[in-house]
Amino acid sequence: MANTIDQIKQRITPEGIMSACGIHAKRKGYQWWACCPFHTEKTASFRIHMDRKQTEWRYTCHGCGVYGDLINLWANIRNNGNLKEAIKELVNNYGSAKPVYIKQKPADEIQTSNKSLQMVKDIYQTAKPICSITYNENLNPWQYFLSRHINLKDKQQFLHPNLRYHKNLSCGKLYDKQPNNLYPESSAIICGNLIDGKLTGLQRTYLKQDIGKFKNASGICKFSLGNLHNGLSPVWLGKDKEGKPLPPATKNETLVIFEGLEDALSYAIIHPNDRIAIGLGLARLKNIKIPDSFNHILLGADRPKKPIHKKQTDSALHKWTQDNKNAEIFYAPYGYDDYNDYICGEEL
């Protein structure tokens, strides 16, 4: 088994894998940068690079957090995550040894280092639930939401306390694996990842002190930390008939899931009665564990720009259907890429 995998890794090249997977990247030194094939973005945050020991090529997305070696990349793009089929194809192209099967660990068995989890808890505990922050349109996070045409005035009570805001994140302590000199002190919107009530990861969207998202030298503004492979972050509680937040879900209820926070809150402005969560990236959707209290799942997706995007949403729907959920997909009204574009009036 090890010999076969080693043969493949010795013979594959980043250029060959990227060409076969339809990834158009720009080389910078000994790295390649491209727009991530696993989530929609306009600025390249997907990187192919050598590992720290300089023994094999790996990929990392600094936007949605996916990572792995080039065999994983081939499997996720060409074989819907099926490593057995990927290895068969790669052996036919790069080696003559007998195909082997590597058992892939379930997403909920993937371990995160104690250091990362402690950092997750530190950020989460020092961040403040946005629902408890006094509304002021001239200050973040409200200023940022308004810049995206998301007016949450008098709606704070419907925001899930899991959605938080950190006023000052010191780059020296809390910017994981990033060069300290790339960042000033910045504020961030925090979306936590809860599995069975346990915080295991979060996604941070960094904001500028004036208006908009703060980006590093590579154009990246969102960072994931911890185990987000089963990431589902509730952001909107829903409104009952009396105009109060809905109580906790019981059974046979509907959950609306979006990939990104801005689309989720844009949809909430239009449909305030729904319970809404975000999946923290297209690549993670199929690994989300839907709580037993929900049997109807509505996936609000961006209009697919690449075949891989539709493949990822279809894969999530298939997985949830296998889990005995009634799952379906929907898009923003015709002519708009997503729900935030819709409320901003930005047509395709």
CATH of the domain at 76: 3.90.580.10
Q: Strand pairing partners for 159? A: 236
- For 110, counting Cβ atoms within 10 Å of its Cβ (0-12 exposed, 13-18 middle, 19+ buried), the class is middle
pLDDT surpassing 70 at residue 216: no
R_g (Cα) of the chain, nearest Å = 21
- Distance (Å) of CA 100 to CA 20, 68, 90: 21, 18, 11
pLDDT at 171: 46
Q: Rounded mean pLDDT of 294-311?
A: 85
- For 90, counting Cβ atoms within 10 Å of its Cβ (0-12 exposed, 13-18 middle, 19+ buried), the class is buried
Q: Is 57 inside a domain boundary?
A: yes
Query: 129 and 55 share a domain?
Result: no
For 126, the token pair is 């020092």
Q: Is 167 inside a domain boundary?
A: yes
Q: Is 109 inside a domain boundary?
A: no
Query: 273 and 162 share a domain?
Result: yes
Please identify, among 104, 123, 153, the residue that sits at the C-terminal boundary of a domain.
104
Query: 127 and 249 share a domain?
Result: yes
Q: Strand pairing partners for 299? A: 257, 329
Q: Is 231 inside a domain boundary?
A: yes
pLDDT at 90: 83
pLDDT surpassing 90 at residue 80: no
- H helices of 24-102, where? 70-78, 83-94
Q: Rounded mean pLDDT of 197-207?
A: 80
Query: 90 and 124 share a domain?
Result: no
Q: Rounded mean pLDDT of 305-309?
A: 74
Query: 160 and 273 share a domain?
Result: yes
pLDDT at 174: 36
Query: 190 and 253 share a domain?
Result: yes
Query: 64 and 8 share a domain?
Result: yes
Q: What does the buried/exposed string (b/e) look like for 249-275 if buried means 16 or more CB atoms within 10 Å of the residue's CB?
A: beeeeebbbbbbbbbbbbbbbebeebb
pLDDT surpassing 50 at residue 167: yes
Distance from C-alpha of 233 to C-alpha of 161, rounded to nearest angstrom: 10
Q: Strand pairing partners for 300? A: 258, 330
pLDDT at 267: 95
Q: Is 117 in contact with 231 (CB distance < 8 Å)?
A: no
For 53, the token pair is 């020991």
Please identify, among 78, 104, 130, the residue that sits at the C-terminal boundary of a domain.
104
pLDDT at 299: 94
Query: 270 and 189 share a domain?
Result: yes
Q: pLDDT class for 308, splitting at 50, 70, 90?
A: confident
Range of the domain at 219: 114-344
For 102, the token pair is 């590597």
pLDDT at 180: 40
pLDDT at 99: 37
Stretch among 93-97, 132-136, 178-182, 226-230 having the lowest mean pLDDT: 178-182
Query: 99 and 121 share a domain?
Result: no
Orientation angle between helical segments 70-78 and 2-11, nearest 10 degrees:
90
Q: Is 275 inside a domain boundary?
A: yes
Query: 202 and 319 share a domain?
Result: yes
Distance from C-alpha of 36 to C-alpha of 283, rounded to nearest angstrom: 10
Q: pLDDT class for 116, splitting at 50, 70, 90?
A: low
Q: Rounded mean pLDDT of 68-93?
A: 82
Top-ranked range on mean pLDDT: pick from 189-203, 280-294, 328-342: 328-342
Q: Using the structure block, give the residue that is written with the tokens 């994981």.
A: 176
* List of residues 6+ apart from 40 with CB closer than 8 A: 259, 282, 302, 305, 309
pLDDT at 2: 57
Q: Rounded mean pLDDT of 247-260?
A: 91
Query: 219 and 291 share a domain?
Result: yes
Q: Is 100 inside a domain boundary?
A: yes
- Mean pLDDT for all residues in the chain: 79
pLDDT at 135: 94
pLDDT in tens, 32-63: 899 888 877 778 888 998 876 656 788 988 87
Q: Is 198 inside a domain boundary?
A: yes
pLDDT at 214: 61
Q: Is 142 inside a domain boundary?
A: yes
Query: 143 and 267 share a domain?
Result: yes
pLDDT surpassing 70 at residue 69: yes
* List of residues 6+ apart from 200 with CB closer than 8 A: 112, 117, 120, 193, 194, 226, 227, 228, 230
**How many independent structural domains does the chain possess?**
2
